[in-house]
């Protein structure tokens, strides 16, 4: 018995040792996989210069990603870094000082950003550190060999690249994404309303304003049928009429305009759009879901979007993202395809602070005078003689956030509060988490953790599709009008945040598709001060209508929808049928009416130039544009003519046209009835006819009597006509091409049972490196002609395809680094 026990004990001991040895080897293997990196990373560049990175560890994968991005776009990364940390004036002079001041005013300190990083999910923290380490390694190499590894712009501006840390990577993301969601629109609304009150009585002023910035337009197209709601405020409860409101609004608006211009010169976009569509299995010709995306961030050389393939132990993903972002925003894994658009959710508020007239350093909060927090920033400015002068600026903060306007002559100030402030790192980590999702549920979890305003789209190989309007929305006090600044005295504070899981979303909709072009996410979901963006006349009708009228679609047909949306005259949906009806009443008695009716009816509504003669193919484009401009003026001039330039963006904006005039044209059929008497007893059809008669006279003077000859020159755009800082570049492609209202990148992915197949285009090209002698990469502009012709390149998901298309292969060894 004792011997048996000894044998059993010995056997157990051996098994334990074997188990511990196995565990040790497993832990060692895991450690090697995630941290150590067993061998050099392989990078295969395809025929368009896109890098496909293969690594044995996740650490090396993201280091290599940072390295090759810097290899391709280091000067662009440097510009983004400086733009988003507020150090542009040190390189480009005093004209960038105001830009840097705003960035410093609204931004986070290094210490605050590091604290966010320290509190990140451990894997997200590791990724951000590895990515920045990869960029930094290339910077070190470039500084040692500037002749071969620094792009020409560094020498042109006598600039050396800075080293990079995880703080720089997170700040770049935080500042650029915040800028997309930072409109300061409430103050502009208050300014316009104050001017209307100066011109009209309160009833008329309110009627005009409500017709321009309504509370809710039920006719606005939506991307889901969700019944989610953010509630409504009390109209005009906090609308101010003080003179300083208008002064503050004009001052902030002027500074904002200058800031936007400077960001564009630095190559950092602010004006974003983006469109997307998911075609479900029931609406797809192949029976497989199709994902389409077109992020709109402008056209520059190099572009704002960077493409890559990432292949590591836990990740296989192909797609693209904004420059400097380690996660992929648009693309596919083996399991699902995904994309995103700007959400335009109301995630920020301007607060009106009551300043102590006896002490401008204090403001009232909860019945007490509280001192503004003060901080001083030192900003380096390059003078005309090349010397650096350091200037100091004092910034103020209230309990709500940074003060964006303060005039010590008046007892008033305005500060800004963001719903996502302090959670930017969480959103960064949520996007990364989404890349690793294995199911729709895991994708949804990441979507609900993202606090900034976007729309996310999902399609997988199991035929599931889903849409999520993401972002953290404040629970606001309904006693105030959310279209105007909120009183900051403490009575009307945010009560918390709405549950993100209750945001508009939809999984496998019965209609078989989801379409979005920055429109309203659900019928009762408003964006308050920017509600004029979500009206009955909206550009997303182009996607909804064109997809709905097709029974089933292929990838090629989705591209046809994209083509039509890129060239369509957005006024034609509501106003061309109306104009045709107006013209038809006189076609039998007036030759000009007959000819115009025929031309417009025959026109396909697209501003295209298929014969490449530099003129739009149909004179219908000329007639429609001229008539619309005159019609708009004739309807609105009497009431807003004095404020025409200021108010036209509200009623004739880039998201589609004029919801105001569409309400008038629909008459009693419009779900949202106008409040102001715009017509003054006139007949809308008669105004339309008079407008047509006026433009015929002018067009005959310009083009001649025959309407068939009324061919209007095309609107054009270029890539690379200016450098990232707004000076002639001399490189890239300066040949103008026809303007397209289209994504800066387009991608189409079909999710088959075996995985994704797809195509994309990312103009002007992948690589922005320019040699010191001025020679630029062959991939600097090699996608422009394809983009112009709506042609695409294959997305390479499988390694076999990558190797078949590889034209360059190299290794990066991170051992010991």
To 10 degrees, what angle do helices 110-118 and 122-144 make?
A: 130
Distance separating alpha carbons of residues 615 and 715, to the nearest angstrom: 9
| Beta carbons of 790 and 558 less than 8 angstroms apart | no
Nearest to 677 by CA among 631, 627, 635: 635
Nearest to 108 by CA among 309, 438, 300, 377: 377
Longest dimension (CA), the chain: 120
DSSP state of 661: H
Task: Catalogue the active-site residues.
Answer: 274
**Would you give the distance in Å from CA 771 to the centre of its chain?**
31
Nearest to 393 by CA among 158, 89, 677, 804: 89
H or E element, residue 312: strand 305-312
| Beta carbons of 745 and 286 less than 8 angstroms apart | no
H or E element, residue 636: helix 619-640
Q: How many residues are given for the chain?
A: 817
Distance separating alpha carbons of residues 659 and 636, to the nearest angstrom: 13
| Beta carbons of 163 and 326 less than 8 angstroms apart | no
Burial of 728 (0-12, 13-18, 19+ CB in 10 A): exposed
Beta bridge pairs of residue 504: none
Measured from the Cβ of residue 130, the count of other Cβ atoms closer than 10 Å reads: 23
Nearest to 488 by CA among 588, 396, 364: 364
Contacts (Cβ under 8 Å, ≥6 apart) of 663: 211, 536, 670, 672, 673, 674
Distance separating alpha carbons of residues 164 and 286, to the nearest angstrom: 46
Distance separating alpha carbons of residues 683 and 689, to the nearest angstrom: 10
| Beta carbons of 444 and 467 less than 8 angstroms apart | no
Contacts (Cβ under 8 Å, ≥6 apart) of 684: 635, 664, 665, 667
DSSP state of 194: H
To 10 degrees, what angle do helices 619-640 and 644-651 make?
A: 120
Distance separating alpha carbons of residues 541 and 655, to the nearest angstrom: 10
Q: Given phi > 0 = left and psi -120 to 50 = alpha, else beta, which region is 39?
A: beta
Distance separating alpha carbons of residues 650 and 659, to the nearest angstrom: 9
Distance separating alpha carbons of residues 619 and 599, to the nearest angstrom: 7
Distance separating alpha carbons of residues 270 and 263, to the nearest angstrom: 7
| Beta carbons of 121 and 327 less than 8 angstroms apart | no
Measured from the Cβ of residue 408, the count of other Cβ atoms closer than 10 Å reads: 10
DSSP state of 34: I
> CB-side exposure of 295: number of CA atoms within 13 Å?
31
Handedness of CA 507, 512, 518, 521 (dihedral sign): negative
**Would you give the distance in Å from CA 376 to the centre of its chain?**
32
């Amino acid at each position: 018995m004792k011997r048996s026990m000894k044998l059993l004990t010995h056997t157990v001991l051996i098994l334990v040792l074997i188990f511990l040895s196995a565990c040790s080897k497993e832990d060692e293997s895991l450690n090697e996989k995630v941290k150590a990196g067993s061998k050099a990373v392989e990078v295969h560049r395809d025929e368009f210069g896109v890098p496909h990175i293969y690594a044995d560890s996740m650490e090396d994968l993201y280091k290599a990603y940072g390295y090759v991005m810097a290899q391709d776009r280091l000067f662009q990364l440097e510009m983004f870094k400086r733009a988003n940390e507020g150090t542009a004036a040190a390189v480009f002079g005093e004209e960038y000082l105001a830009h840097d001041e705003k960035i410093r005013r609204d931004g986070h300190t290094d210490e605050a950003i590091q604290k966010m990083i320290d509190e990140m999910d451990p894997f997200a923290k590791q990724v951000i550190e590895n990515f920045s380490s990869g960029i930094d390694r290339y910077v070190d190499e470039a500084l040692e060999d500037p002749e071969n590894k620094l792009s020409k712009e560094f020498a042109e501006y006598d600039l050396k690249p800075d080293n990079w840390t995880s703080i720089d990577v997170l700040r770049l993301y935080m500042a650029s994404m915040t800028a997309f969601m930072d409109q300061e629109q409430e103050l502009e609304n208050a300014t316009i309303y104050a001017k209307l009150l100066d011109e009209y009585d309160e009833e008329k002023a309110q009627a005009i304003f409500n017709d321009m910035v309504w509370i809710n337009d039920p006719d606005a197209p939506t991307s889901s049928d969700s019944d989610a709601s953010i509630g409504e405020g009390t109209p005009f409860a906090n609308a101010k009429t003080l003179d300083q409101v208008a002064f503050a609004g004009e001052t902030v608006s002027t500074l904002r305009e200058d800031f936007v211009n400077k960001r564009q010169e630095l190559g950092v976009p602010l004006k974003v759009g983006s469109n997307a569509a998911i075609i479900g299995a029931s609406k797809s010709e192949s029976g497989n879901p199709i994902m389409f995306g077109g992020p709109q961030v402008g056209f520059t050389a190099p572009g704002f979007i960077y493409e890559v393939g990432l292949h590591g132990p836990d990740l296989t993903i192909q797609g693209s993202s904004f420059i400097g972002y380690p996660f992929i925003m648009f693309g596919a894994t083996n399991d699902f395809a995904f994309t995103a658009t700007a959400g335009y959710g109301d995630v920020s508020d301007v607060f009106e602070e009551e300043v102590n007239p006896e002490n401008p350093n204090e403001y009232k909060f909860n019945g007490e005078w509280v001192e503004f927090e003060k901080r001083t920033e030192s900003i380096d400015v390059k003078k005309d003689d090349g010397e650096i002068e350091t200037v100091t600026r004092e910034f103020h903060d209230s309990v709500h956030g940074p003060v964006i306007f303060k005039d010590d002559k008046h007892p008033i100030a305005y500060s800004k509060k963001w719903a996502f402030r302090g959670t930017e790192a969480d959103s960064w980590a949520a996007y990364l988490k989404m890349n690793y999702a294995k199911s729709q549920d895991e994708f949804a979890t990441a979507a609900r953790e993202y606090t900034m305003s976007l729309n996310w789209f999902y399609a997988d190989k199991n035929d599931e599709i889903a849409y999520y309007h993401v972002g953290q929305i404040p629970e606001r006090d309904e006693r105030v009008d959310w279209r105007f600044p909120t009183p900051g005295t403490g009575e009307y504070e945010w009560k918390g945040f709405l549950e993100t899981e209750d945001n508009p979303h939809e999984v496998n909709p019965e209609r078989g598709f989801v379409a979005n072009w920055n429109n309203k996410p659900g019928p009762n979901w408003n964006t308050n001060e920017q509600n004029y963006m979500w009206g009955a006349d909206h550009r997303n009708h182009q996607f909804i209508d064109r997809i709905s009228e097709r029974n089933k679609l292929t990838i090629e047909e989705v591209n046809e929808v994209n083509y039509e949306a890129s060239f369509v005259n957005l006024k034609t949906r509501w106003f061309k049928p109306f104009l045709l009806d107006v013209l038809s009443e006189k076609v039998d008695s007036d030759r000009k009416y007959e000819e115009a009716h025929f031309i417009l009816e025959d026109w396909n509504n697209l501003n295209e130039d298929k014969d490449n003669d530099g003129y739009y193919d149909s004179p219908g484009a000329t007639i429609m544009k001229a008539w619309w401009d005159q019609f708009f003026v004739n309807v609105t001039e009497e009431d807003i003519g004095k404020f025409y330039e200021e108010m036209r963006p509200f009623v004739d904006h880039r998201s589609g046209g004029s919801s105001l005039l569409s309400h008038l044209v629909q008459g009693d059929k419009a779900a949202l009835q106008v409040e102001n008497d715009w017509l003054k007893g006139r007949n809308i059809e008669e105004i339309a006819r008079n407008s047509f008669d006026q433009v015929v006279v002018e067009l005959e003077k310009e083009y001649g009597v025959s309407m068939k000859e009324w061919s209007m020159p095309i609107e054009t755009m270029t890539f690379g006509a200016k450098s990232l800082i707004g000076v002639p570049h001399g490189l890239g492609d300066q040949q103008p091409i026809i303007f397209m209202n289209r994504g800066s990148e387009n991608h189409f992915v079909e999710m088959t049972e075996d995985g994704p197949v797809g195509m994309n285009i990312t103009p002007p090209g992948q690589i922005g490196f320019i040699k010191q002698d001025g020679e630029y990469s062959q991939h600097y502009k090699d996608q422009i002609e394809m983009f112009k012709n709506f042609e695409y390149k294959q997305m390479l998901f499988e390694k076999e395809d990558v190797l078949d298309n590889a034209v360059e292969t190299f290794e990066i060894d991170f051992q010991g680094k």
